[in-house]
């Protein structure tokens, strides 16, 4: 029977077809990989508190993991060059399984951060699984399989926080253990996937990871110098403040839940899942909105988005009832998504290529500076720091936006 099955697989490959088992297995790997991530990420900051860390420690976690994520694409690109796609994915899953296991074996907050940084530096499993999957999918099924892949890769952000919230009060180690087990299952599943003929090691890049990072920083500085920042300081400042505000609110809303509603871990897990679902839905709704508002000046739409975001964020921070908070999250997520969607159009009006490229660097800069500053203030004044960092930057953005609406940059028709 085994020989007949192998013979069938070879016949499929000879006629240009891929075994359906490979596609199903890779989609299953996508699901398990997403769930393993979702089981950990939302409750890692509270776990740092359990281990004796502070808000500054959590800020350090956010900054170091962001740095690791920025390096990960270059690290994995070199790994693919040296090992090939499938073997590189093996390596990624093995590192992930070890890092997940270290989280429930250690009692040190700093060692936990180290393990998470190692994981983040190699966490390109989703993109690599997608690349292998697309090599095996017939051309007439590409769109369908991509839809399935996107649904499965997003499922961990919905299911994972709910499971982790139910388990956290028992022990966060259970979530870490389950994530490690799911990753080990993925290692076993990957072994059954057939190897591609064109998937072999090749020559690596001429530049090392650190040299490429140094080049990226040099390019970012060059883009800033060429962005005419003396004229475009308003957009640069708004981008930084918008990123700072949304980063803090969407990562620290749990403090509002605990202070206002005395929410437990289960409620926090469900709320995290709910907000992630809103983000996915918001992308679809904003695309529909954009197609119907093509005649409205961009500056008016963004101004309205900032007003809605400011008012609803302020009300959510002081909401006395959880149901009101949950309802306010809908316009908050939609306004955030709308601003992000229209931001490129707003920048394009300035006709400065360097300013357009600089946007991502500004967001990274906010991600590297705001968490530590927030942690220092939060250690002093508690949940009020969430309100300050979420609301005041939006106020500043609106002041800048309305002051320059009547300038020569934008003319309201």
Exposed, middle or buried, 405 (CB in 10 Å: 0-12/13-18/19+)? middle
d(CA 224, CA 248): 25
Say what the pLDDT of residue 204 is: 52
DSSP, res 296: S
Query: Taking the domains of the chain in order of start, what are their residue ranges?
Result: 2-200, 219-403
Question: CA 290 to CA 292: how far, in whole Å?
Answer: 5
Q: What integer best gives the mean pLDDT of the chain?
A: 87
Lowest average pLDDT, out of 4-8, 218-222, 378-382, 401-405, goes to 4-8
237 vs 13, more confident: 237
> Could you tell me the pLDDT band of residue 4, with boundaries at 50, 70 and 90?
very low
Residue 201 has pLDDT above 60, yes or no: yes
DSSP 407: S
Stretch 56-76: mean pLDDT:
92
Q: Indicate whether 352 pLDDT > 90.
A: no
CB 347 within 8 A of CB 356: yes
pLDDT per residue as tens digits for the range 372-404: 999 999 999 988 999 999 999 999 999 998 876
Displacement of CA 199 from its chain's centroid (Å): 28
Phi-psi group of 245: left, alpha or beta (phi > 0 → left; psi -120 to 50 → alpha; rest → beta) = alpha
How much is the pLDDT for 32? 97
Spatial distance between the Cα atoms of 23 and 16, rounded to a whole number of angstroms: 14
Distance CA 396, CA 238 (A): 8
Taking the alpha carbons at both ends of the chain, their separation in whole angstroms is 74
Q: Which of 328, 336, 316, 313 is nearest to 391 (CA)?
A: 313
Who wins on pLDDT, 212 or 104?
Answer: 104
Identify the residue with better confidence: 290 or 140: 140
Please state the rounded mean pLDDT for residues 32-56. Answer: 94
pLDDT (mean) for 337-342: 90
Cα(305)–Cα(143) distance, integer angstroms: 32
* Domains 2-200 and 219-403 equal at CATH topology level: yes
Count CA within 13 A, CB hemisphere, residue 287: 5
pLDDT at 267: 95
Give dist(CA 126, CA 265) in Å, integer.
28
More confident residue, 181 or 11: 181
Higher pLDDT pick, 285 / 98: 98
Gap between the Cα atoms of 381 and 144, Å rounded:
50
CATH architecture of residue range(s) 219-403: Up-down Bundle (1.20)
Question: What size, in residues, is the chain?
Answer: 413
pLDDT (0 to 100) of residue 203: 59
The first and second tokens of residue 137, run together, are 């999918």
What per-residue confidence (pLDDT) applies to 291?
74
Using the CB atoms, write b or e for 34-60: b if 16+ within 10 Å.
bbbbbbbbbbbbbbbeebebebbbbbb
| Model pLDDT, residue 61 | 94
For the segment 196-205, the average pLDDT, to the nearest whole number, is: 66
**CB proximity list for 274: less than 8 A, separation 6 or greater:** 326, 329
- What is the pLDDT confidence band of residue 202, given thresholds at 50, 70 and 90? low
Q: Token digits for 88?
A: 């590189």
pLDDT score for 320: 92
State the pLDDT at residue 207.
57
Topology, domain 2-200: Growth Hormone; Chain: A; (1.20.1250)
Longest dimension (CA), the chain: 77
Total Cβ atoms within 10 A of residue 156: 26
Lowest-confidence range among 211-215, 217-221, 308-312?
Answer: 211-215
Mean pLDDT confidence for 296-303: 85
- DSSP letter at 171 equals -
pLDDT of residue 16 exceeding 60? no
Let me know: does 80 contact 199? Beta carbons within 8 Å: no
Q: Quote the pLDDT of residue 405.
A: 52
**Residue 408 scores a pLDDT above 50:** no
Query: Highest mean pLDDT range out of 55-59, 348-352, 358-362?
Result: 55-59
Mean pLDDT of 327-337: 95
Q: Is the pLDDT of residue 298 over 50?
A: yes
C-alpha dihedral over 47, 158, 34, 337, to 10 degrees? -100
**Residues 266-293 as b or e (16 or more Cβ within 10 Å = b):** ebbbbbbbbbbebeeebeeebeebeeee
Cα separation, 93 vs 365, in Å, equals: 30
Which of 2-6, 69-73, 202-206, 214-218 has maximum average pLDDT?
Answer: 69-73
Q: Is the pLDDT of residue 21 over 80?
A: yes
What is the phi-psi region of residue 319: left when phi exceeds 0, alpha when psi lies from -120 to 50, beta otherwise?
beta
DSSP secondary structure letter of residue 141:
G
pLDDT at 10: 44
Q: Is residue 406 scored above 50 in pLDDT?
A: no
Asked if the model's pLDDT at residue 343 lies above 60, the reply is yes
- How confident is the model at residue 29, as a pLDDT? 96
Q: For helices 55-83 and 209-225, what crossing angle results, to 10°?
A: 120
Given this model, what pLDDT does residue 313 score? 96
CA–CA dist 173, 104 (Å, integer): 5
């Amino acid at each position: 029977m085994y020989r007949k099955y192998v013979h069938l697989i070879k016949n499929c490959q000879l006629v240009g077809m891929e075994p359906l088992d490979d596609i199903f297995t890779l989609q299953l790997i996508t699901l398990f990989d997403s769930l393993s991530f979702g089981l950990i990420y939302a409750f890692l900051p509270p776990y740092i508190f359990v281990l004796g860390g502070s808000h500054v420690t959590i800020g350090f976690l956010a900054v170091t993991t962001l740095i690791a994520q920025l390096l990960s694409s270059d690290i994995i690109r070199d790994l693919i060059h040296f090992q090939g796609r499938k073997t590189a994915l093996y390596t990624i899953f093995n590192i992930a399984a070890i890092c997940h296991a270290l989280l429930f074996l250690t009692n040190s907050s700093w060692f936990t951060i180290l393990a998470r940084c190692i994981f983040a530096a190699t966490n390109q499993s989703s993109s690599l699984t997608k690349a292998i999957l697309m090599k095996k999918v017939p051309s007439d099924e590409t769109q369908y399989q991509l839809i399935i892949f996107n649904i499965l890769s997003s499922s961990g952000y919905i299911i994972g926080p709910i499971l982790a919230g139910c388990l956290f009060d028992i022990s966060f180690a259970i979530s870490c253990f389950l994530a490690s087990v799911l990753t080990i299952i993925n290692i076993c599943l990957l072994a059954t996937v057939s190897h591609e003929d064109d998937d072999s090691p090749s020559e690596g890049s001429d530049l090392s990871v650190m040299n490429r990072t140094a080049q990226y920083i040099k390019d970012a500085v060059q883009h800033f110098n060429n962005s005419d920042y003396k004229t475009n300081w308003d957009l640069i400042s708004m981008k930084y403040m918008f990123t700072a505000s949304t980063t803090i609110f969407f990562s620290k809303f749990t403090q509002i839940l605990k202070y206002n509603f005395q929410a437990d871990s289960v409620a926090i897990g469900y709320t995290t899942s709910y907000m992630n679902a809103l983000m996915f839905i918001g992308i679809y709704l904003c695309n529909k909105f954009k197609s119907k508002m093509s005649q409205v000046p961009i500056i008016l739409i963004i101004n309205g988005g900032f007003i809605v975001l400011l008012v609803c964020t302020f009300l959510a921070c002081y909401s006395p009832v959880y149901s009101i908070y949950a309802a306010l999250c809908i316009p908050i997520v939609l306004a955030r998504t709308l601003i992000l969607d229209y931001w490129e159009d707003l920048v394009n009006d300035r006709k400065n290529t360097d300013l357009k490229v600089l946007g991502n660097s500004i967001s990274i800069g906010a991600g590297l500076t705001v968490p530590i500053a927030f942690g220092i203030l939060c250690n002093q004044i508690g949940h009020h720091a969430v309100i300050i960092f979420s609301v005041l930057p939006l106020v500043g953005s609106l002041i800048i936006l309305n002051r320059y609406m009547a300038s020569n940059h934008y003319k309201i028709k």
